[in-house]
Structure 1
């Protein structure tokens, strides 16, 4: 039979072994967790990263290559990856080393320079095609290149001025040999103007009109083109605004000009046959003159810019009209939007009689005029 002291000692030893087993098991689990966590990799795709071309810029001219590429970054260090992904904190560059590249066209391997060792990069595409030439500078005259839409819209080109008239073009030796002309391409005109004034970068073209590579930035010139806009005459129509007094049946309008000239592009002119002239008739109870500016929308120019309008009210139930027509070239009538007051039947009869009397009087006067033309000396009896 075992002594009690031996039993206690054995139990303590067994407890210690279990404690050690639990301790090592817990540490092992934590280590495995840390290892699995450290294996996580983060990715970032960067687009349009510029390619830095390394060569002797004093002696050579390089052209024909893609100026930007895409770069795929990956790292287990999220903070470092964010630093390289951000344009403001980025340390790496994509480089094409041409220091040992011969003249002519070659395919060059791209590499990443200055990237943190905690981050890996993959370039897409991995290579670029470049053309290396000896650098030359020549002087060329510049001509303005006017968009075809200018003449298509009916503009007539009166005068073209380019300043300076000639520029120095820096390019490759072989490219310079095929330059046919140097142009200043103008952009399209979006609204009616009588002159184009633009400052533009010049372009070098070959005999087929294809754009050639020259030093960037290209020289700039100022171009001024004087134009004659197509024009046409259009009529004016009155467009009353506001509310007339209740006793006014309608108005007559006397215009100082019946037609005006508009100038603009052909497509704009083709769409316009008349121009509306807004006339405010609010509270007008007697003959009133207004000087009204002819509205435009910026797509055309109108001459004259304003006209004089005499507004004559015609009152309900009468033939009374306050009219001042002296010095006016024409008269335009317009009924107001307010419906006239119904006329009593008795007044309608009187009105009809008045019309008949007027017709009879007109007929008599016509007869007298015919008798005079026929040599008759007869006059109506008193």
Structure 2
């Protein structure tokens, strides 16, 4: 019997079959271990908890803004989310949640402490809003229409130029806000800056400013918030009258009447400070040897001002000659 058993162990096919069986057992064990590890990792990934903080989230006001005005709300808040990682990843990717107030129409005017909440958020997540409660003031909303004043430093315009009346894209704006603030309004204006000497037309969009008597900016809504302001800037011109004076020796027995044909003024262009000192242009008409009525052309002497021009440079003078009436 022992000899027979020894023969079996010495049989090469028996050894091969046993080796194959052992190899299969080892492969099964290793595969099972690897497969079990992978399954554990996937389950761990699904069940992993995660926390995420999101900053600068705007607040959606749940209120009839046509009737009420709210003050005290911050522009943005911070939100901390906690829960399964996969749910947080999906939530951040969809980005369809929002921060809202409670229904403020139910509160009405007055000072209130309100609670913020998150809408469109999975029930599997918990959240914390910072700040979560806010002190606000709700007031009746008042609206009115107002003209807009233009503040502009005209002294910044070069001496050879002049600024004309401003042209606004909107002459009036609608101002809305709480009644207590509306009562404090002292002026509504736009300011046109002048950082350098101005020699050409200004055309720019400017924010409408609302201030009280102490020049504090007020928390109101202006529609439109910006308006376009155009300030035409042109070369300075001044109309100067022409004065005629008779010179020379008149013909005996004759009298003379003189007048400018057409416009009796010239247009002078130049430095407004220097032109301010010029009140008239004097033309001397020599009547020597003039014995009958006529029209003459008289050249106007240029102004003694550097850079100044005049138009026209000459005019026609009508001279009417009459006989003297005996006394």
TM-score, normalised by the number of residues in structure 2: 0.52
> Does the 8 Å contact 2:173/2:224 carry over to 1?
no
Residue 112 of structure 1: which of 93, 110, 118 is its match? 118
Q: Report if the CA contact (8 A) 1:74-1:120 is conserved.
A: yes
Q: Which of 101, 115, 132 is the aligned partner of 1:96?
A: 101
Residue 123 of structure 1 deviates from its aligned partner by 1.7
Indicate how the Cα distance of structure 1 residues 130 and 145 shifts in structure 2: closer, same or farther if over 3 A, else same. Answer: farther
Distance in structure 2 (CA, Å) of the matches to 1:190 and 1:83: 55
Instruction: State the secondary structure of the residue aligned to 2:106.
Output: coil
CA contact 1:160–1:223 (8 Å) conserved in 2: no
Q: Within 5 A, what are the aligned runs for 1:37-56?
A: 37-56=45-64
Query: 1:117, CA displacement in angstroms?
Result: 2.4
Cα separation, 2, equivalents of 1:219 and 1:128: 27
From 117, 124, 140, the counterpart of 1:134: 140
Q: Does 1:122 align with 2:128?
A: yes
- For residues 162-181 of structure 1, the aligned pairs below 5 Å read 162-163=167-168, 164-181=170-187
C-alpha distance 104-206 of structure 1, shift in aligned 2 (>3 A):
farther
Structure 2 residue aligned with 1:85: 92
Is residue 142–residue 177 contact of structure 2 (8 Å, CA) maintained in 1? yes
Q: Measure how far apart 1:24 and its partner are.
A: 11
For 2:105, what is the secondary structure of its paired residue? coil
Deviation at 1:202, TM superposition (A): 1.8
Aligned residues: 223
- From 174, 193, 202, the equivalent of 2:208 is 202
In 1, Cα distance between the equivalents of 2:155 and 2:131? Answer: 44
Measure the CA separation in 2 of the matches of 1:206 and 1:51: 28
| Runs of 5+ consecutive residues of structure 1 not aligned to the other structure | 1-21, 230-302, 304-382
Contact 1:169 1:214 in 2 (8 A): yes
CA contact (8 A) 2:173 2:223 kept: no
Q: CA deviation at 1:143?
A: 0.9
Q: Counterparts of 1:160 and 1:175 in 2: how far apart (Å)?
A: 31
User: Which residue is 2:17 aligned to?
Assistant: none
Deviations along 1:105-152, one digit per CA (max 9) or x if unpaired, are 333221111112233332222233332111121122211234x7x867
Change (3 A) 1:167 1:217: closer
In 2: Cα distance, 1:151 partner to 1:168 partner: 31
Deviations 1:149-183 (A, max 9, x none): x8679899734425343332122222111111111
Q: Distance in 2 between matches of 1:49 and 1:77?
A: 21
Question: For residues 157 and 208 of structure 1, what CA distance do their matches in structure 2 show?
Answer: 32
Select which of 80, 83, 93 maps to 1:72: 80
CA distance in structure 1 between the aligned counterparts of 2:71 and 2:56, rounded to whole angstroms: 18
Aligned-pair Cα RMSD in Å: 4.6
Cα 1:42–1:188 shift into 2, 3 Å? farther
TM-score, with length taken from structure 1? 0.45
Partner residue, 2:163: 158
Distance of 1:63 and 1:140 partners within structure 2: 23
Q: Distance in 1 between matches of 2:101 and 2:74?
A: 11
CA distance, structure 2, for counterparts of residue 160 and residue 71 of structure 1: 52
Q: Map 1:297-308; keep pairs closer than 5 Å.
A: none
Q: Any idea what SS the aligned residue of 1:211 has? A: coil
Matches within 5 A, 1:218-229: 218-226=224-232
Q: CA deviation at 1:206?
A: 1.0
Q: Which runs of 5+ in 2 are unaligned?
A: 1-29, 236-306, 308-327
Distance change (3 Å), C-alpha of 1:152 and 1:186? closer
